[in-house]
Amino acid sequence: MNKRFALLAVFVVLALVLVACGGGETTTVTETVEVEVTRIVEVEVAGAAGPAEAITFAGGGDTLGAVQDRGILNCGVSGSLLAFSFPDEDGVMQGFDADYCRAVAAATLGDAEAVEFRSSNASERFPILQSGEIDVLIRNTTWTLSRDTSLGFNFVPTTFYDGQGMLVRKDSGITTLEDMDGGTVCVNAGTTTEKNLADVFRSRGISYETVVFAETADVRTAYDEGRCDGWTTDKSGLIANSALLTDPENHIILEATLSKEPLGPLVRHGDDNWFDIVKWTVNCTILAEDLGVDSSNVDDMLGSDDPQVLNLLGVEGDLAQALGLNNDFCYQVIKQVGNYEEIYNRALGPDTAYDVPRGLNSLWTDGGLLYSPPFR
Ligand SMILES: N[C@@H](CCC(=O)N[C@@H](CS)C(=O)NCC(=O)O)C(=O)O
């Protein structure tokens, strides 16, 4: 038991006043949750629509110590987004985001399966991270300025570069956003999606009405039943979700991309060490792909002649000690979960129903945006 940060299981009633994603609106959320509190930090949140409000959240402290004492990583996911986090027929959470939860567990606990997945809709996801109910949120969440600052989070390097798209029925005759003038659009509440839709349609002079739901299943049903002309969200979400429509082949995603949606893990403000750990876990998966290290050859790679590989896998040096981790943390990630390419392909690659081209999610050497700083 870490004496410095002995954990207390307490009931905390939190009245959180949050700036809705993208700013401009405020949402009042009252939550009663059981949380493990290491230290309480008071922060001022400057809401876009009013004076600064005080929120209390379980920030700071020793998240690594808490995770290791617990022996389990509490990881927030969507839980209802195919390819990213969705339970399989045995109830096991699968997908790209779920595997990044496993990567953090492998790095910090040496066991990729030591994860408690906490499902959340778009509006719940931030309160459960602020309250300490989860240690990290890995839930197709877009890195924005307001989330990175006033909401009190730190985003690690992006794991999936996405953009907002629009799904329409093939027989609707709609081929451009302008064709949607006067129409209706189905959208998820509490997302960047709502705000981007308003910005793009206003700037292009397109009039429209929204039909808004908290749960994606309700958005999908409404669109499927013809209550909306279009359904807008991250393109990855449209690709995955459209598989659940009654007639998936009768719909198309328009060419237009309405926004940039850099998706990736985030942690609370106030614990730089934990921020570094999640950040270098992601970097480990990217650099491993870059150096040709994967789960099938990682044991052989322990005998590599390449000093970069030896540093990455912790065979030489003691870089991981500065993170408070074992020197083999990245070895464990690659051995148990795989490098970026393996994680991507398992969820979205050519052998899946989605077959999403890597595009911006290629390594920098292949014209993409994935680039890990050195393990030095
Ligand atoms: N990336 C956007 C949108 C994220 C989002 O919540 N998308 C919906 C539609 S794909 C979703 O994840 N739904 C699954 C769920 O509600 O669990 C954001 O961060 O605001």
Distance 190 CA to ligand 1 centre (A): 8
Cα 154 to Cα 65, 187, 272, 316: the distances in Å are: 19, 26, 9, 30
Distance 5 CA to ligand 1 centre (A): 34
User: What CATH number corresponds to the domain at position 175?
Assistant: 3.40.190.10
CA dihedral 168, 174, 180, 186 (to 10 degrees): -10
pLDDT digits (tens, 9 = 90+) for 331-341: 999 999 999 99
97 lines ligand 1 (CB under 6 A): no
Measured CA to CA, the distance from residue 105 to residue 177 in angstroms comes to 42
**Is 331 among the domain residues?**
yes
> Residues 279, 237: one domain?
no
What's the one-letter identity of residue 145?
A: L
Measured CA to CA, the distance from residue 273 to residue 61 in angstroms comes to 10
User: Kind of pairing, strands 251-253 and 208-213?
Assistant: unpaired
Distance 310 CA to ligand 1 centre (A): 38
Is the pLDDT at 6 greater than 50? The verdict is no
- Give pLDDT, residue 57: 52
**Is 6 among the domain residues?**
no
191 lines ligand 1 (CB under 6 A): yes
Measured CA to CA, the distance from residue 161 to residue 218 in angstroms comes to 26
Helix (H) or strand (E) holding 287: helix 272-290
> Residues 270, 368: one domain?
yes
Distance 35 CA to ligand 1 centre (A): 24
Measured CA to CA, the distance from residue 45 to residue 53 in angstroms comes to 5
Cα maximum dimension of the chain: 65
- Give pLDDT, residue 199: 97
> Residues 118, 85: one domain?
yes
Is the pLDDT at 56 greater than 90? The verdict is no
**Is 102 among the domain residues?**
yes
pLDDT digits (tens, 9 = 90+) for 154-200: 999 999 999 999 999 999 999 999 999 999 999 999 999 999 999 99
Lookup: tokens for 191: 């997302």
Mutation probe of ligand 1 site: the residue of 21, 25, 27, 78 with most atoms within 8 A of C-beta: 78
| Domain's final residue, options 225, 259, 293 | 259
Q: Given the structure tokens 């390594």, which residue do they identify?
A: 363
Distance 296 CA to ligand 1 centre (A): 33
CA-162 nearest atom, ligand 1: 1
**Is 20 among the domain residues?**
no
Lookup: tokens for 57: 């959240």
pLDDT digits (tens, 9 = 90+) for 284-311: 999 999 999 999 999 999 999 999 999 9
Is the pLDDT at 2 greater than 60? The verdict is no
Helix (H) or strand (E) holding 236: helix 235-242
Shortest-distance Cα residue to atom 19 of ligand 1: 141
| Domain's final residue, options 231, 259, 287 | 259
189 lines ligand 1 (CB under 6 A): no
**Is 32 among the domain residues?**
no
**Is 1 among the domain residues?**
no
In contact, 163 and 257? CB cutoff 8 Å: yes
Is the pLDDT at 72 greater than 70? The verdict is yes
- Give pLDDT, residue 59: 55
Average pLDDT, the chain: 87
**How many secondary structure helices (H) and strands (E) does the chain include?**
12, 18
User: Kind of pairing, strands 261-263 and 136-137?
Assistant: unpaired
Q: Using 50, 70 and 90 to split pLDDT, how confident is the model at 61?
A: confident
Cα 244 to Cα 99, 220, 224, 240: the distances in Å are: 22, 8, 9, 8
Domain housing 134: 59-160+264-376
| Domain's final residue, options 208, 224, 259 | 259
85 lines ligand 1 (CB under 6 A): no
21 lines ligand 1 (CB under 6 A): yes
pLDDT digits (tens, 9 = 90+) for 124-160: 999 999 999 999 999 999 999 999 999 999 999 999 9
Cα 69 to Cα 36, 62, 100, 258, 280: the distances in Å are: 11, 11, 21, 44, 21
> Residues 155, 205: one domain?
no
- Give pLDDT, residue 58: 58
Lookup: tokens for 345: 């392909």
80 lines ligand 1 (CB under 6 A): yes
- Order of all β-strands in the sheet with 115-119: 115-119, 73-77, 136-137, 266-268, 153-155
**Is 228 among the domain residues?**
yes
Specify the number of domains making up the chain.
Answer: 2
196 lines ligand 1 (CB under 6 A): no
> Residues 281, 358: one domain?
yes
